[in-house]
Structure 1
Amino acid sequence: TARQLKDMNANRVFICCTFGLFTEGLEMFDDAYEKGYFDRIITTNLHYRRPELLKKEWYTEADMSKLIAQIIDFSNHDMSMDKVGTPTEKIREILSIYNDHVDKEV
């Protein structure tokens, strides 16, 4: 868990999932964030997210709109999905942008 990672001296903890449903409510996440157990929770926008979730300081949305549009377009044109793109390169690009932003804040 995030708390266990912090107990093992993890400097930062990011929780990522495709469909963050938060079915038990947001309060327990607010509490864990306040205690410093995690730095950020990242979920995709491929499902409904309650407006109050979008306002949380600890929440970040990963916008998948372009990827889904590409998949639909490639599918409609009977093109191979391997041309959709390499997610590894995109992840590295996003991490670079994020790290540049964090470095400027420090």
Structure 2
Amino acid sequence: MKIALYAAAALACSVAFSSAQAATHLTPQQCTSYPFVKTAKAPTHAQLDAELKLLESVGYHPNVSDNQYPHQLNLAEARLRAKFRAECMKPSPHKSGANSAVQSVGAPAS
């Protein structure tokens, strides 16, 4: 009986945590920094850690045994790019269809 209660509590916590992560928005600082803006130098450990947290916020789970490893990572990167486009690239009031925030970004660096 206790095991079932612990399992239910753990599931509830993980669902709540996942929902909270999915609801977060990118900050202006995140919109104008790595991994969305290419850098001349190699990324720092802190930047790579931040990128992993962003990927996790859109559903990537690196600790799960995944026999489709690159596929799941690619899906998360695509979701992160879509989130970036939706939250960071605002249409410019001066040019129709242009983006004023950050114009030339590629996929998050791996």
Q: If the length of structure 1 is used for normalisation, what is the TM-score?
A: 0.30
